[in-house]
Amino acid sequence: RASAAGYQEVTIRVEGGYTPSLIRARKGKALRLIFDRREKSPCSDEIVISEFGVRRFLKPFEKTVIDVTPAKEGTFEFACGMSMLRGQIQVEG
């Protein structure tokens, strides 16, 4: 959804996986991902989005904000540090 500030914003629940696991975004428009980690499982303590050079620690029971701007169309994966939990960002023109 679009925020009042004009960027795309999505809250992703982190609990045994990612909900939603498919994020749709527009190319060239700022995208704010808010990872809401609701567990202490060691598998979900890190988020990796290789396409955007992101590797961040997610604190248990806190929200972590990651801002990116997709420069090209395509489908890009995000995953936990062990690549067991997975999701996708689908970028359209």
Digit-coded pLDDT (tens) for 39-70: 999 999 999 999 999 999 999 999 999 999 99
Query: Tens digit of pLDDT for each residue in 68-86?
Result: 999 999 999 999 999 999 9
User: The whole model's pTM is what?
Assistant: 0.92
d(CA 90, CA 93): 10
Contact between 7 and 32 under an 8 Å Cβ cutoff? The reply is yes
Tell me the C-alpha distance between 62 and 23, whole Å.
Answer: 20
